[in-house]
């Protein structure tokens, strides 16, 4: 577990710096630099608490403070007034280190289940928000404070409370680049058209901007966050740094909604998917992986951040944890099918393999080495960035090779398979070549021998393909 933790938190800047002397000029190339959008640090491996880069919007794209595109992956809490126990630093750390999370959304219902405006204990809820913000920051993640309207479909209904709430929290967190404000979860209802939401947003944004000129603000769109094209025709003015939210549940929302997102993207609308699932919109029912994958491919293509519903152990298909999961010590075996799927797409790691190799609790007889490639090394490939340029898709992968045996491994070779034909655009710290859908990695000038127990983490490459590519 310890070494996984280091892999997950090692900033790419450090890897790139480390290989600048080792791998030549490509290490500092602008494209490679795109892959380190998050940490406003260079050099040292990340400690618990990192400074996150302030985020800003440029055209439709979210960017870091070096003007590099940022695509955040993350998880939403279930309503914090339903499941306060999951607002928990240990859970957030697990999500960061094992589940590829870079952003946590704190969903605070306003009306449902003793919400903030319907009898909930406001002080207690504000305390939970603060606990969540601290826990996200302590684990190096962005955090979204979400005013989670739902049964109260019209955000104007509790506009005064919303203004007071956002005034309070922005006073508290002013200037903290980790904190993002989501003004209203999912406006809905027959009369709740975009102008209604827009005028609510204007009122609340005024409060936020009085305290914080730069914070990133997310604004909902009507029809449960699916009327982005309406917003695209009538943008908020002078709101500063902001994006519009789109939500989807893949088993319910399909081609039409994907088409709407593409249309809005063509309008250059800055969008952020602050909630999504693969279930039906009810949060339950079977996962529709086909429709879900089509959504993920689309988000990858256009570089949109996404936050999955939900950090919960409720017995429903959109929960990432099985019932009874201990929020103080979640583990891979607690993941539901949905949790496992998210881990796979956010980190490239297959949870079944890892569960087998964890702590030698291996009933299947498989060893850690059995899952590795050709050489007896454990190979973990992490997709760290993807972007489009000149009509092609570029995807950066970082490779970790671990020798779990008690013997050094020499003259190794690893073959990695992908879903599409790829060519190598750049590579570092290895002899790396592509043929069709596979990439072969051999030792270059470095790492000819990997010692017993050693983990090599600075090998990486960027592949070029005609569409989104994933490891197979
Ligand atoms: C759902 C929960 C469900 C709960 C319901 C009402 O999954 O257990 O009973 O809220 O509190 C949304 C909402 C989100 C919903 C989710 C799934 O933002 O609050 O959570 N969903 O229905 N929009 C579309 C789907």
28-37, 117-126, 394-403 — which one is most confidently predicted on average?
117-126
Nearest CA to ligand 1 atom 6: 112
Pocket of ligand 1 (CB under 6 A): 112, 150, 185-186, 224, 247, 249, 275, 281-283, 309, 314, 316, 318
- Considering the entire predicted model, what is its pTM? 0.72
Q: Which atom of ligand 1 is nearest to the CA of 82?
A: 11
Identify which of 170-179, 398-407, 427-436 has the greatest average pLDDT: 170-179
Q: Are 446 and 429 in contact (CB under 8 A)?
A: yes
User: Is the model's pLDDT at 19 over the cut of 60?
Assistant: no
C-alpha 78 – ligand 1 centre gap (Å)? 8
Q: Is the pLDDT of residue 356 over 70?
A: no
Query: pLDDT category, 372, cuts 50, 70, 90?
Result: very low
Mutate to test the pocket of ligand 1, among 114, 218, 247, 283 (most ligand atoms within 8 A of CB): 283
How far does the centroid of ligand 1 lie from the alpha carbon of residue 272, in Å? 18
Ranked by mean pLDDT, which of 260-274, 341-355, 397-411 comes out on top? 260-274
Mean pLDDT, to the nearest integer, of 134-162? 98
Active site residue 186: yes
Please identify which of the residues 186, 280, 354, 378 carries the catalytic annotation: 186
* Mean pLDDT calculated for residue range 131-136: 98
Give the β-pairing of 306-311 and 216-219: unpaired
CA of 108 to the centre of ligand 1 (A): 12
Is the per-residue pLDDT at 188 higher than 80?
yes
Q: Please tell me the residue having the least CA distance from ligand 1 atom 19.
A: 150
Residue 363: its pLDDT value, please? Answer: 34
Residue 131: predicted pLDDT: 98
The confidence score (pLDDT) of residue 444 equals 82
Calculate mean pLDDT across residues 410-429: 90
Q: How far is CA 161 from CA 36, 116, 210, 221, 365, in A?
A: 38, 9, 17, 20, 58
Higher pLDDT, 44 or 347: 347
Ligand 1, atom 3: closest residue by C-alpha:
283
Label residue 17 by pLDDT band (50, 70, 90): very low
Q: Ligand 1: distance of its center to the CA of 203 in Å?
A: 26
Residue corresponding to tokens 């936050």:
307
Task: Find the catalytic residue in 89, 98, 275, 316.
Answer: 275
All structural domains of the chain = 48-353 (3.20.20.80), 369-465 (2.60.40.290)
Give residue 472's pLDDT band: very low, low, confident or very high (50, 70, 90): confident
Is the predicted pLDDT of residue 112 greater than 80, yes or no?
Answer: yes
Kindly give the number of the ligand 1 atom that is closest to the alpha carbon of 279: 17
Q: Which ligand 1 atom minimizes the distance to the CA of 185?
A: 18
Q: Output the CA 165–ligand 1 centroid distance in Å.
A: 22
Would you call 414 a catalytic residue per the annotation? no
Query: Ligand 1 centroid to 373 CA: how many Å?
Result: 41
- Looking at the predicted structure, is the pLDDT value of residue 6 above 70? no
Identify the residue with better confidence: 332 or 378.
Answer: 332
How high is the pLDDT of residue 27?
29
Q: Quick check: 262 pLDDT over 90?
A: yes
Average pLDDT, the chain: 86
Residue whose CB lies within 8 A of the most ligand 1 atoms, among 77, 110, 309, for a mutation test: 309
**pLDDT higher than threshold 90 for residue 15:** no
Least confident of 279-293, 328-342, 370-384: 370-384
433: pLDDT confidence band, cut at 50, 70 and 90? Answer: very high
Quick count: other Cβ atoms within 10 Å of Cβ 188? 20
pLDDT value of position 405:
86
Closest C-alpha to ligand 1, atom 20: 283
């Amino acid at each position: 577990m310890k070494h996984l933790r280091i892999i997950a938190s090692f900033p790419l800047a450090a890897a790139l710096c480390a290989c600048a002397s080792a791998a030549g000029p490509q290490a500092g190339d602008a494209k490679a630099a795109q892959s380190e959008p998050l940490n406003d640090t260079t050099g040292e491996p990340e400690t618990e608490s990192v400074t996150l880069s302030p985020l800003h919007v440029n055209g439709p794209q979210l960017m870091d403070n070096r003007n590099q595109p940022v695509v955040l992956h993350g998880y939403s809490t279930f309503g914090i007034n339903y499941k306060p126990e999951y607002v928990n630093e240990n859970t957030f750390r697990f999500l960061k280190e094992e589940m590829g999370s870079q952003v946590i959304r704190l969903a605070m219902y306003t009306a449902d289940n003793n919400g903030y405006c319907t009898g909930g204990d406001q002080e207690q809820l504000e305390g939970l928000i603060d606990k969540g913000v601290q826990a996200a920051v302590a684990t190096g993640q962005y955090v979204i404070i979400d005013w989670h309207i739902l049964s109260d479909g019209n955000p104007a209904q509790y506009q005064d409370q919303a203004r007071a709430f956002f005034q309070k929290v922005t006073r508290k967190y002013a200037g903290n680049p980790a904190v993002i404000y989501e003004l209203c979860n999912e406006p809905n209802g027959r009369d709740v058209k975009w102008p209604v939401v827009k005028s609510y947003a204007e009122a609340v944004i005024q409060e936020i901007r009085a305290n914080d000129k730069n914070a990133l603000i997310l604004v909902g769109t009507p029809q449960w966050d699916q009327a982005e094209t309406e917003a695209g025709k009538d943008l908020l003015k002078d709101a500063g740094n902001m994006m519009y939210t789109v939500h989807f549940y893949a088993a319910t929302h399909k081609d039409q909604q994907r088409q709407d997102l593409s249309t809005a993207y063509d309008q250059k609308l800055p969008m952020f998917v602050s909630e999504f699932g693969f279930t039906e919109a009810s949060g339950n029912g079977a996962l529709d992986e086909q429709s879900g994958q089509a959504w993920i491919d689309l988000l990858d293509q256009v570089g949109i951040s996404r936050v999955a519903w939900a950090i919960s152990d409720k017995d429903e298909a959109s929960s990432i944890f099985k019932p009874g999961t201990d929020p103080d010590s979640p583990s891979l075996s607690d993941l539901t099918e949905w949790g496992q799927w998210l881990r796979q797409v956010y980190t490239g790691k297959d949870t079944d393999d890892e569960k087998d190799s964890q702590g030698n609790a291996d009933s299947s007889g498989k060893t850690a080495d059995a899952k590795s490639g050709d050489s007896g090394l454990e190979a973990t490939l992490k997709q760290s960035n993807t972007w489009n340029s000149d009509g092609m898709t570029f995807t950066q992968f970082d490779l970790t090779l671990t020798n779990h045996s008690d013997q050094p491994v020499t003259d190794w070779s690893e073959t990695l398979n992908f879903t599409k034909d790829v060519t190598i655009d750049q590579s570092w710290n290895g002899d790396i070549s592509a043929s069709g859908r596979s990439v072969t990695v051999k030792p270059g000038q470095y790492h000819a021998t990997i010692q017993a127990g050693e983990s090599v983490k600075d090998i990486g490459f960027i592949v070029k393909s005609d569409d989104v590519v994933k490891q197979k």
